[in-house]
Amino acid sequence: MIRKKTGVFLLLACLLSIGAQAQRVTSMRINEVLVVNEDNFVDDYGKRNAWIELYNTSAGSVDIRGCFLTDDKNNPKKYPIPKGDVLTKIKPRQHVIFWIDGQPSRGTFHVNFVFDPDRENYIALYDADGKTLVDEITIPRTKGKDISYGRIVDGEERWSFLEKVTPSTNNLTLDTNEKIDNFKLNDSLGVGMTLTAMAVVFCGLILLYLIFKSIGNLSVTLSKRRAQKTEGTVGEDVVSGEVLAAIGTALFELDEDVHDIENTVLTIQKVKRHYSPWNSKIYGLREIPGK
């Protein structure tokens, strides 16, 4: 019993530790960076500035308040992310944008430094202790306007220049559906899709018929068993009416000594009553009163 309780305790401890680890700031990743923003996403002031996108790779929400963003390896605490903003809590598999505009007075998501489009730029995210490096990336010199540098797949290691800029959404998006394309190529008239759909419907109907039939047979069987159990005939041979009639005839034809003759005598005798109860006037009314 003690070993069992110890095992359960250790399992719960492991699950709690895994959950806590999943919700740590170390689950955050720098996901995409746009240095030259000329005709792209605008901020809450209607301005187009450089931005970086952070991505939560964990299965739990992560609060990045108190953490640090910097473009200087020698100054990891350059921009402290303010506390008290509910938007710093990033939901699982979601993104958040920080504007690299050098105007922190505009709000939580506006940092105090800017990028230089004519050279490489460095960006890093540090934990709230200012020492633990969560993620960093050196952005190559931009190849043009409105071309971002990001992970090919959100949260994964491979980086590339992205002509299709995707702020606050997945870097890899699918514009086509492989199954639909295959149907268009191999079944342009839709005959195969129609036959497949009809086959699925009929198979479903047949399956439902078999299920309901089986349920009905089972219900009837159970009802019969319950009825036999109630009559006390479960597990016994049921005697037919012909057998009962033969047994009765045989008993009747046996010797008279077998029968109780006395109980077959019917006696009918009139009983006369010569008196009348004190509360009955029947006999008194039938006689002529004496004078």
pLDDT tens, position by position, 243-255: 888 887 877 776 5
Least confident among 128-132, 157-161, 169-173, 224-228: 169-173
Tokens of 17: 């530790």
- Cα–Cα distance between 179 and 76 in angstroms, integer? 48
What is residue 279's predicted lDDT score, i.e. its pLDDT? 55
Instruction: Please report the sign of the dihedral spanned by the C-alpha atoms of residue 40, residue 46, residue 50, residue 53.
Output: negative
- Cα–Cα distance between 152 and 124 in angstroms, integer? 19
What is residue 85's predicted lDDT score, i.e. its pLDDT? 92
Does residue 265 sit in helix, strand or coil? coil
What percentage of the chain carries pLDDT values higher than 70? 74
What is residue 227's predicted lDDT score, i.e. its pLDDT? 81
Instruction: Please report the sign of the dihedral spanned by the C-alpha atoms of residue 238, residue 240, residue 243, residue 249.
Output: positive
Under 8 Å between Cβ of 231 and 224? no
Compute CA 156 distance to the chain's CA centroid, rounded to the nearest angstrom: 28
Question: Which residue is associated with the tokens 């971002």?
Answer: 148
Residue 205 has pLDDT above 80, yes or no: yes
pLDDT tens, position by position, 11-23: 655 555 444 444 6
- Cα–Cα distance between 8 and 55 in angstroms, integer? 34
Q: May I ask the CATH class of domain 24-162?
A: mainly beta
Between 210 and 272, name the one with better pLDDT: 210
pTM (predicted TM-score):
0.56
pLDDT tens, position by position, 95-121: 999 999 999 999 999 999 999 999 999
Residue 157 has pLDDT above 50, yes or no: yes
Residues paired with residue 30 on neighbouring β-strands, in sequence order? 54
